[in-house]
Amino acid sequence: MTPDDILKALYDETLVGNAPRVLELTEEGLGLSMEPQTLLFDALIPSLEEVGARFERGDFFVPEMLIAGRAMAGAMERLRPLLAETGVETIGKFLMGTVKGDVHDIGKNLVNIMLEGAGFEVIDLGVQVAPEKFVAAIEEHQPDIVGFSAFLTTTMPMFKANMNALEKAGIRDEVIVMVGGAPVTQEYADAVGADGYAADASQTVKRAKSLIEAKRTKVPA
Amino acid sequence: MALIACGAIAQPAAAVVDRNGWPVDVHPLPPLLHNHPDRIADQVRALAERLGRSYGRVVVGYADCGTYGALDSVCDDLGLQRLPGLHCYDVYAGRSRLERFFDEQPGTYLLTDFLVRSFDRTVVRELGLDRYPELRDTYFGHYTRVVWLAQEPDEELRALAADAAEGLGLPLTVVETGDHGLEQALADLVRPAV
């Protein structure tokens, strides 16, 4: 296969979520001395963006999103250390977790994949993350953004508990806070004092980028 | 009176109506809306507006059901009452009991008789597990148990519930709720007319 064939096949096989084939093609591409960034930015990310677009149009559903995301995640496992070696600067560091009392993580994991695909370094704390664990992880990893995810109306109040924990630890102003999840709205995000909210994975990427950009260009008072 | 019922509770709701002799016609909406809660409010609105032309009163046999307030907005607009709580699970088991389940184990996956009976269609197929069985742990990896809120647990349903839990790789707890909670909630809805 030529490099162009590899990119086309990688795009197509990611789109249909053929994880074993995506990994094979990634290896083949690397075997042809293709740059990891080329595989990522010219095949994997465009394919996942197409998955997102089809989802928004109603042509794809959650299973198709997940299966494509898993395929890309498999390739990313292989590419991540290579990308790190190349010294490509990440857009920013994003710390993510589902709040305490909530085990739902499908949406969060899709967001993680999209963020990573867009060039963020993602640190995922998993599910049922207690406020003190978020605080400790922020202090350890110094992320640009922390994301709180909740799927249940009964666990959404943990956003406020997390915000209070950040305030108490004196780190609220050091990190951008984004919130999301099925029941979350912009109004709720505003009410708990979050800096950003997005309704889905692709919007999260756009919002995260704009929040980081705004923070970096902000002139200190 | 017309009762717009989620397809997942339409059958037991109709049984309750018959048992009590209430002057209520049950109008079910498709049960698969359970998996697409963003569509519930619009479908309830459309059906309620249509039924409102031929019934003196229309009530809604849905809890919030993942509409996150959108159904309440429809009810407020059209002057309708709905079932209490977040989900039909609250109606069957009571909110405090459900809170205890989730306090004990946040990774509790709930089933009702309807979901047990239709598990292959409403869960396995809808989640794509028939096509992508490897997604099972993606969906259920953080769950620790299945709790079946059983309304009429006969041998056939017990076997189906056991199969469902086994398919998810989770232990099964059976909690026999009966349909008293549903009967009480429906009585509260239809009471002004009976």
Q: Read off the pLDDT of residues B9-66 as tens digits, 9 standing for 90 and up.
A: 999 999 999 999 999 999 999 998 988 898 999 999 999 999 999 999 999 999 999 9
* pLDDT of amino acid A119: 82
Residue of B139, B140, B143, B168 best to disrupt the A interface, most CBs of A under 10 A: B139
Q: Does A109 touch chain B (CB under 8 A)?
A: yes
Q: Does A63 touch chain B (CB under 8 A)?
A: yes
Strand partners, A177: A146
Our CA-based measurement puts residue B126 at a distance from the nearest CA of chain A, in whole angstroms, of: 8
The residue type at B161 = A
Position A218 pLDDT exceeds 80: no
Taking each helix axis as running N to C, give the angle between helix A45-57 and helix A106-117, from 0 to 180 degrees, rounded to the nearest 10: 140
DSSP secondary structure letter of residue B82: B
* Separation of alpha carbons A71 and A20, rounded Å: 8
Query: Residue B63 — left, alpha, or beta (φ > 0 → left; ψ -120 to 50 → alpha)?
Result: beta
Position B148 pLDDT exceeds 90: yes
- Nearest residue, CB atoms, B142 vs list A66, A127, A185: A127
Q: Are A204 and A180 in contact (CB under 8 A)?
A: yes
Q: Does A103 touch chain B (CB under 8 A)?
A: yes
Least confident of A22-26, A60-64, B87-91: A60-64
Using one digit for the tens of pLDDT, what is the confidence trace for A63-108? 998 899 889 989 989 998 898 787 777 889 999 999 999 999 988 9
Structure tokens at A54: 């089809």
Cα end-to-end distance, chain B, whole Å: 10
Position B154 pLDDT exceeds 60: yes
Taking the whole predicted model, whether its pTM rises above 0.90 is answered as no
* pLDDT of amino acid B193: 52
Using one digit for the tens of pLDDT, what is the confidence trace for B162-176? 999 999 999 999 999
Residue of B36, B89, B132, B145 best to disrupt the A interface, most CBs of A under 10 A: B132
- Nearest residue, CB atoms, A67 vs list B68, B107, B135: B135
* Separation of alpha carbons A105 and A111, rounded Å: 10
* pLDDT of amino acid A4: 96
Q: β-strand B145-150 against A196-197: which pairing, if any?
A: unpaired
* pLDDT of amino acid A106: 87
Secondary structure, 3-state, chain A = CCHHHHHHHHHHHHHCCCHHHHHHHHHHHHHCCCCHHHHHHHHHHHHHHHHHHHHHHCCCCHHHHHHHHHHHHHHHHHHHHHHHHCCCCCCEEEEEEEECCCCCCHHHHHHHHHHHHCCEEEEECCCCECHHHHHHHHHHHCCCEEEEECCCCCCCCHHHHHHHHHHHHCCHHHCEEEEECCCCCHHHHHHHCCCEECCCHHHHHHHHHHHHHHHHHCCCC
Structure tokens at A147: 């994301």
DSSP secondary structure letter of residue B122: I
* Separation of alpha carbons B5 and B31, rounded Å: 9
Our CA-based measurement puts residue B73 at a distance from the nearest CA of chain A, in whole angstroms, of: 15
Residue at token pair 């560091």? A93
Q: β-strand A176-180 against A196-197: which pairing, if any?
A: parallel
